[in-house]
Amino acid sequence: MPDKSLSSETSPAEPPKRKRALPVLAKKRAPDSQPEREIFARNLRKSRIDAGLSQRELAAVTGIAQAHISELENAMHNVCIDTMVKLAQAMRKPLFQMFQP
């Protein structure tokens, strides 16, 4: 029977574990604009449904991709002011109404 002490001497030693150069950052917080984004998203969806438009029809009217409209309605992205204006105009509402809770 082979000697176990010999087998451990012939196997390569494990390299020492390296320390991380930078600490792991904590999970990112939601941006401070999240409540406003969610209000805009909720009002956008409600306005679109009240206008009788599907996301695809709204995309055709505004020139904004349907997938992007879906992401905006789910508050997944920041919205630039030009996009907000296009969407509000398509809904025939002033932009400030899209931010009212």
CB atoms within 10 A of CB 43: 20
pTM of structure: 0.66
Contact 73, 45 (CB under 8 A): yes
**pLDDT for residue 6 is more than 90:** no
Contact, 83 vs 37, CB < 8 A? no
Does the structure show a pLDDT above 70 at 28?
no
The CATH code belonging to domain 34-101 is: 1.10.260.40
Dist. CA 5–CA 76, nearest whole Å: 59
* Domain segments of the chain as ranges: 34-101
